[in-house]
Amino acid sequence: YRNRAQWKVREQKQGGPPQIGYFHAASTALVPIETCPILSPRLEEILNSIRAYLAAGELAPTLREVEAFVDDRDNSALLTLTYAKFPKSPGEVEKLLRGKIPALASLLIQDVNQTKMELLGPGSLTYKVADFAYRVSHLSFFQVNRSLIGEMVKAVTELAGTGALAFDVFAGVGLFSLPLARQFKQVMAAEANPVAARDFRSNVSLPENAVSGTLEIRELDATHFLRRAKQIPDCVVLDPPRAGLDADGAAALGKLGAKRIVYISCDPATLARDLAILIAHNYEISVVSLFDLFPQTFHIETLVQLVIR
């Protein structure tokens, strides 16, 4: 089900070619893998190709991490290679990879500190959800369950309702903002990642993403955006990372006084913490939905609608 994977690469203490796999839970000990059933077929192919390159000694032993992301059709891929020591010839690395990975659309090579990078290719791919098209770049976040993204977007927008103004906080590339702009006269979005914000602006301009409302993005973190808000929205949609909102951000959201809040969370503990603050600001929980975005794991995506009393 996954459209994205991040694999670690480490040399073997007893010698031999570097191995690729995942870190053991709560450690940096590598667990080498030969197959991963939760990956899309294309990601599985890429994993096999990288492992073959490593076994043949064709990739530098300073390679530390490979991240791959594929489009909705499982045809095109973005690859990000992270090295402890930046390779002397990134062009040769690209030529090598294209020999066994025909799906490679774009390659980003970087060092572990992200102080040196080289992009080989357009830097992004197009991911379609329902009748929207999203440009997603190497360093942008996008939901990983390729089977349930559309269902989750539909559920979020239904709970958001309609009105004059909606806020989309942690907006990313505009996954929720674009459909919201067909239901609200105005959507104001906040995204602190400059790469994702650039993708967002590109997605707003795509002809297939025509909307009836106006869309505006601010490159601000959630707390600053909520504190600076001058208008009271009909709805706030937020999809924070695992850490959730901080206490100041949750308090600012509670004081804002939006009619509805739609909170998407991948961590029940931080969700409970933030909901307690919102309930103390005169909100009540009206809907709770669960999405099993991460089958075969204990992780669950929770969708909560709150309404002001």
Q: Which residues are catalytic?
A: 266
The alpha-helical segments, DSSP class H, found in 30-148 are 41-55, 90-100
Kindly provide the b/e burial profile for residues 249-276, where b requires at least 16 CB atoms within 10 angstroms of the residue's own CB.
bbbbbbebebebbbbbbbbeebbeebbe
Burial class from Cβ neighbours inside 10 Å (0-12, 13-18, 19+) for residue 61 reads middle
Bridge partner residues of 109 (DSSP): 81, 118
Q: Using alpha carbons, select from 284, 186, 189 the residue that is nearest to residue 237.
A: 189
Tokens, residue 75: 């045809």
CA distance 209 to 182: 10
Burial class (CB within 10 angstroms; exposed 0-12, middle 13-18, buried 19+) of 131: exposed
Angle of CA points 77, 41, 44, to nearest 5°: 80
Burial of 15: CB neighbours in 10 Å, binned 0-12, 13-18, 19+:
exposed
Helix axes 247-256, 268-280, angle to 10 degrees: 40
* Residue 167, both tokens: 């806020």
Is 144 in contact with 3 (CB distance < 8 Å)? yes
CA–CA separation, 30 and 34 (whole Å): 13
Nearest to 183 by CA among 223, 154, 219, 217: 154
